[in-house]
Chains A and B, each alone.
Chain A
């Protein structure tokens, strides 16, 4: 476009300076030459098939420049967004880090509580075994309290001259045997005591709903006033203030005839 915009004025200027048409004057001749050359160039340029094409190409180039500019804008926006996201991610990681520190502290405490809980569960699992030993001792004592009727020797025994074992040594042996079971029970109670777990004293105590669970009632009497524990069905245990297992008891009650 710039070429043609200059071309016409030069042509007009040359044409205007042509002066009287004296072909001999060298200036005239040279300007005529230039003019002719310009016309020839113009003709040649006009003949060029790419003439309009160049227009179009230039138009296209302008459009491309515009597009590139917009892409650059988009790219910048994208980079900005990414930078923002990185910043957010960094913040998130930092706060996650802080939370992790807090979690570690919490988990440590939880682990300690968990260990204590495990010990308690193990102890609770052993309690039925201690109950069994309690029952064994109780049954043995009941057995020993039975009145003994010495058995008369049978006819054949008398004939053979056998001497049946008198009941007294057997009872002594049994008494000793039960004493041994009591010692075994004590071993287990000592293990519990090491963890601070004590049997709940119930027998003869005033009934306390926080420590005892009433399974049955019996009429009260002089030996066992109303509201006291007459007997213990199952031993209870406590660890300080905490009840590990309630004592199951029979309570004496004022019964109306």
Chain B
């Protein structure tokens, strides 16, 4: 058995393939372990969370982010001794080894470890050495973007692909352009910012809250160590909540006191405000993206796919800006915190010759949204489709958006829930509708606003709740929506098929494109097998196969049906011999 390890700058994770599927191995409520090593005041070695806990108290006895120094001819001090970066990483790996062995109940000796694409030979060698010092046989060192590609099953496809891996984690940002050709993966270019991540977003929001608090109350909470710690934590929670809600209430009671009197923080932050705070940072990542494309000698049209790695890619602004910049919808189906570790486990299983299934994810195959009216060039355009849960979102998921009534004296809003991709709402499939009435404006003279929440549960039921922000009144409905268990390859395929339909000006964006193609694909596979197994010359069969493939590529339904029929006849005769 070979396991996979994502040895990260701030966090590390272990994964292994079990029953054909890669899974992350948790330990004591932790799915990821801080990459921190330390010596306690008593001289005991601590690795992981305990080491991180003591950093502020004993920074000279604690080592963080050793990954930044891998490959360097340097030594770090821990207690009385000095160690190489590989030694420190070995301590981290040894703890991970101990955890996985405790989990499976037997020795685990073989490992695949991931490294950044930009790692030098010296750094890679140091990583290998660290693994060996930890007691592992290092089967392979693979690049992190390659591991992500494996997690998405991209190596399974025969055709050549150019894929961008956008990795925005807690503390670092990396973007790599990789090329896949018949299962061989090669890194073409790599760029990034080792000092940019979700922690910086937290910092920006916490400072914004502090500045606002000072303006309101005249006291700067940053002067108080406890208040600042609470603000940072509140900012992190708010950031996460804003990924699925348009507003969040930030409450920190008794944050600071002034002349003895306590002061509380109690305010609402909108997603728009938060996005305003981080937009320039995200813009910077796009510059790195372009630089990587430049280094690879490609322009953005050459890219086939973009995959998202790292927890901060959950932020809707990041997705939107990358999608707008490239014209490609980034893929997020595999848990972005775990994709690299899962990919390492997959590589491990491939080397060990273990059977592998493709990861299946529960997703919404179609977008879910509601009908709204949009202001365009001074006109109110009705029957517009506002997507709340985009297609290919993993479920269960909860998303909400805020909408306002058209006029200030409007007292009711009709909520019509649709499933589909068409920008004209009524062209999609209506799932349900209800009315929310007795609306009250929040501010007199302004139209009332309503938050609409879509909660898609694991059973495929969509629960819709509309809440009037003015009165607090709530209305709910539950409807059945389509969900599917698909592999990432299927998702990309279906997306491409739908895009092809849209490109051909297909106003009938029917879901029929999907199933026909899958059936024809199955038939093609059987025909190809028959062709291989047949002893005699089968030009007719080969031609029929080719014709069907062409018909499929063009999405020509009539040609597909005719060719499917004639292919069936030919296969029948051949198997009858």
Report yes or no: A142 in contact with B257, Cβ–Cβ below 8 A.
yes
Given contacts A143-B260, A217-B57, A253-B57, are A209 and B254 in contact (CB under 8 A)? no
How far, in angstroms, from A132 to B50 measured CA to CA in the complex?
Answer: 26
Q: Which of B40, B51, B229, B253 contacts A248 (CB 8 A)?
A: B229
What is the 8 Å Cβ interface bit string for chain A, positions 32-62, against chain B (1 contact, 0 not)? 0000000000000000000000000000000
CB neighbours (8 Å) of A138 from chain B are 254
CB neighbours (8 Å) of B40 from chain A are 209
What is the 8 Å Cβ interface bit string for chain B, positions 28-43, against chain A (1 contact, 0 not)? 1100000000101100
How far, in angstroms, from A210 to B253 measured CA to CA in the complex?
Answer: 28
Report yes or no: B254 in contact with A136, Cβ–Cβ below 8 A.
yes
Given contacts A139-B254, A139-B257, A242-B29, are A209 and B46 in contact (CB under 8 A)? yes
**Does B532 lie at the interface of the complex (its beta carbon under 8 Å from any beta carbon of A)?**
no
CB neighbours (8 Å) of A22 from chain B are none
What is the 8 Å Cβ interface bit string for chain A, positions 225-246, against chain B (1 contact, 0 not)? 0110000011000000011001
How far, in angstroms, from A234 to B227 measured CA to CA in the complex?
Answer: 11
Report yes or no: A251 in contact with B57, Cβ–Cβ below 8 A.
yes
Interface centre among A212, A215, A226 (most CB of B within 10 A): A215
A121 to chain B minimum Cβ distance, whole angstroms, is 11
How far, in angstroms, from A139 to B224 measured CA to CA in the complex?
Answer: 14
Report yes or no: B54 in contact with A214, Cβ–Cβ below 8 A.
yes
Report yes or no: A246 in contact with B53, Cβ–Cβ below 8 A.
yes
How far, in angstroms, from A246 to B52 measured CA to CA in the complex?
Answer: 12
Residue of A nearest to B237 (CB): A128
Report yes or no: A132 in contact with B261, Cβ–Cβ below 8 A.
no
**Does B403 lie at the interface of the complex (its beta carbon under 8 Å from any beta carbon of A)?**
no
Tell me the residues in window 48-68 of chain B with beta carbons closer than 8 Å to chain A beta carbons.
Answer: 50-58
**Does B262 lie at the interface of the complex (its beta carbon under 8 Å from any beta carbon of A)?**
yes
Residue of B nearest to A209 (CB): B50
How far, in angstroms, from A234 to B252 measured CA to CA in the complex?
Answer: 13
**Does B225 lie at the interface of the complex (its beta carbon under 8 Å from any beta carbon of A)?**
yes
Interface centre among B29, B53, B226 (most CB of A within 10 A): B53
Report yes or no: A216 in contact with B53, Cβ–Cβ below 8 A.
no
Tell me the residues in window 194-209 of chain A with beta carbons closer than 8 Å to chain B beta carbons.
Answer: 207, 209
Residue of A nearest to B226 (CB): A233
B257 to chain A minimum Cβ distance, whole angstroms, is 6
CB neighbours (8 Å) of B261 from chain A are 143
Residue of B nearest to A136 (CB): B254
Report yes or no: A217 in contact with B56, Cβ–Cβ below 8 A.
yes
**Does A146 lie at the interface of the complex (its beta carbon under 8 Å from any beta carbon of B)?**
yes
**Does A250 lie at the interface of the complex (its beta carbon under 8 Å from any beta carbon of B)?**
yes
CB neighbours (8 Å) of A242 from chain B are 28-29
How far, in angstroms, from A227 to B50 measured CA to CA in the complex?
Answer: 15
Report yes or no: A142 in contact with B260, Cβ–Cβ below 8 A.
yes
What is the 8 Å Cβ interface bit string for chain B, positions 255-291, against chain A (1 contact, 0 not)? 0010011100000000000000000000000000000
How far, in angstroms, from A215 to B54 measured CA to CA in the complex?
Answer: 9
Residue of B nearest to A145 (CB): B260
Report yes or no: B254 in contact with A216, Cβ–Cβ below 8 A.
no
How far, in angstroms, from A212 to B53 measured CA to CA in the complex?
Answer: 7
How far, in angstroms, from A46 to B28 measured CA to CA in the complex?
Answer: 103
Report yes or no: B55 in contact with A214, Cβ–Cβ below 8 A.
yes
Interface centre among A139, A142, A243, A251 (most CB of B within 10 A): A139
Tell me the residues in window 104-151 of chain A with beta carbons closer than 8 Å to chain B beta carbons.
Answer: 132, 135-136, 138-139, 142-143, 146
Report yes or no: A132 in contact with B53, Cβ–Cβ below 8 A.
no
Residue of B nearest to A117 (CB): B29
How far, in angstroms, from A226 to B41 measured CA to CA in the complex?
Answer: 10
CB neighbours (8 Å) of A248 from chain B are 229
How far, in angstroms, from A246 to B51 measured CA to CA in the complex?
Answer: 13
Tell me the residues in window 235-256 of chain B with beta carbons closer than 8 Å to chain A beta carbons.
Answer: 253-254
Interface centre among A142, A209, A213, A242 (most CB of B within 10 A): A209
Q: Which of B54, B57, B225, B253 contacts A132 (CB 8 A)?
A: B253
Report yes or no: B229 in contact with A233, Cβ–Cβ below 8 A.
yes
Q: Which of A135, A213, A214, A215 contacts B253 (CB 8 A)?
A: A135
A235 to chain B minimum Cβ distance, whole angstroms, is 12
B232 to chain A minimum Cβ distance, whole angstroms, is 10
Given contacts A139-B254, A139-B257, A233-B226, are A215 and B50 in contact (CB under 8 A)? no
B60 to chain A minimum Cβ distance, whole angstroms, is 11
Given contacts A136-B254, A146-B260, A250-B225, are A210 and B50 in contact (CB under 8 A)? yes
A125 to chain B minimum Cβ distance, whole angstroms, is 12
How far, in angstroms, from A71 to B295 measured CA to CA in the complex?
Answer: 69
B557 to chain A minimum Cβ distance, whole angstroms, is 36
A215 to chain B minimum Cβ distance, whole angstroms, is 5
B238 to chain A minimum Cβ distance, whole angstroms, is 13
How far, in angstroms, from A139 to B28 measured CA to CA in the complex?
Answer: 35
Q: Which of A142, A146, A209, A216 contacts B225 (CB 8 A)?
A: A216
How far, in angstroms, from A158 to B45 measured CA to CA in the complex?
Answer: 71
CB neighbours (8 Å) of A142 from chain B are 257, 260
CB neighbours (8 Å) of A209 from chain B are 38, 40, 46, 50-51, 53-54
How far, in angstroms, from A242 to B30 measured CA to CA in the complex?
Answer: 12
How far, in angstroms, from A196 to B97 measured CA to CA in the complex?
Answer: 31
B99 to chain A minimum Cβ distance, whole angstroms, is 15
Report yes or no: A135 in contact with B56, Cβ–Cβ below 8 A.
no
CB neighbours (8 Å) of A212 from chain B are 53
CB neighbours (8 Å) of A233 from chain B are 225-226, 229
Q: Interface residues, chain B, CB within 8 Å of chain A?
A: 28-29, 38, 40-41, 46, 50-58, 225-226, 229-230, 253-254, 257, 260-262
| List of 5 A-B pairs having minimum Cβ-Cβ separation, nearest first | A135-B254, A214-B57, A209-B50, A139-B262, A214-B56
Selected A-B contacts with CB under 8 Å, 10 pairs: A136-B262, A138-B254, A142-B260, A143-B261, A209-B46, A209-B51, A210-B50, A214-B56, A215-B56, A215-B225
Given contacts A214-B56, A248-B229, 18 further A-B contacts (CB under 8 A): A135-B253, A139-B254, A139-B262, A143-B257, A209-B38, A209-B51, A210-B50, A210-B53, A213-B52, A214-B53, A214-B58, A216-B229, A233-B225, A233-B229, A234-B230, A246-B53, A251-B57, A253-B57
